[in-house]
Amino acid sequence: MKNVFVMDHPLIQHKLTLIRDKNTGSKEFREVVKELAMLMGYEVTRNLPLQEIEIETPVSKTKAKVIAGRKLGIVPILRAGLGMVDGLLSLIPAAKVGHIGLYRDPETLEPVEYYCKLPVDVHERDLIVIDPMLATGGSANAAIQFIKDRGAQSVKLMCLIASPEGVKAVCEAHPDVEIYVAAVDEKLNEHAYIVPGLGDAGDRLFGTK
């Protein structure tokens, strides 16, 4: 699928293995999710436009490149997306952060919305929606539709682990959205958990199970 980018950098794959392991506790899980978000953010921001400015080094005047004033926004899907915010912010500290609260109803698997606070100028920003897990795609699709309904024009999705079903669902619903993942796993199980996956990302981040 042309809009899907799987980041197979060795550091990313190594860290992904650490968080897949069920013996990794919350403290290490949180640290590694943050590191993964930072490493993946490096690729997600690869196409940011540059402009030249004039500066003076200790040796001479020169023209040098800086990022061309693009307005960026990071939109974590609560709760689990919160674990990826700081990693991205360490790369792009000027980005604004919007929050979308969604949880997946365990019976219907439909996303249920409980919070939304976005930057007022969301329509002018390049937005990166973040969530560690893309399972059925229901939550990501709802979040993307939500910000598009508020005027967003430029949206990327960044997840750690996706299922083939989730990738397909987002590609079909939002063909304009590029999807960045560290892995596309084998399948969903009967409870719509990703196999092999890493379990429930929110619970593992926040120690709630």
Ligand X SMILES: O=P(O)(O)OC[C@H]1O[C@H](OP(=O)(O)OP(=O)(O)O)[C@H](O)[C@@H]1O
Ligand Y SMILES: O=c1cc[nH]c(=O)[nH]1
Annotated active-site positions, please? 104, 108, 200, 203
Residue choice 37, 41, 202, 204 for contact with Mg ion (CB under 5 A): 202
Residue 45 binding ligand X, by CB under 6 A: no
**Cβ 101 to ligand Y shortest distance, Å:** 15
Q: Output phi, psi for 97, to 5 deg.
A: -120, 125
Q: Give the whole-angstrom CA distance, residue 97 versus residue 127.
A: 9
Task: List the interface residues with Mg ion, window 9-68 (CB under 5 A).
Answer: none
Number of residues that bind ligand X (CB under 6 A): 23
| Residue with Cβ nearer ligand Y (193 or 206) | 193
Residue 138 binding ligand Y, by CB under 6 A: no
Residues in the annotated binding site for 5-phospho-alpha-D-ribose 1-diphosphate = 79, 104, 131-139, 200
130 neighbors 81 (Cβ within 8 angstroms):
yes
End-to-end, the C-alpha distance of the chain in Å comes to: 35
Which among 9, 11, 37, 14 has a CA at the least distance from the CA of 24? 14
Residues in the annotated binding site = 79, 104, 131-139, 194, 199-201
167 neighbors 135 (Cβ within 8 angstroms):
no
Tokens 């109803």: give the residue.
105
Q: Which does 193 bind (CB under 5 to 8 A by kind): Mg ion, ligand X, ligand Y, none?
A: ligand Y
DSSP H helical segments within the chain, as ranges?
10-20, 26-44, 85-91, 138-149, 164-173, 201-206
**Cβ 102 to ligand X shortest distance, Å:** 6
- Positions in the binding site for ligand Y (CB under 6 A): 80, 133, 135, 193-194, 197, 200-202
Interface with ligand X by CB under 6 A: which residues?
77, 79-80, 102-104, 109, 111, 131-140, 166, 192, 200-202
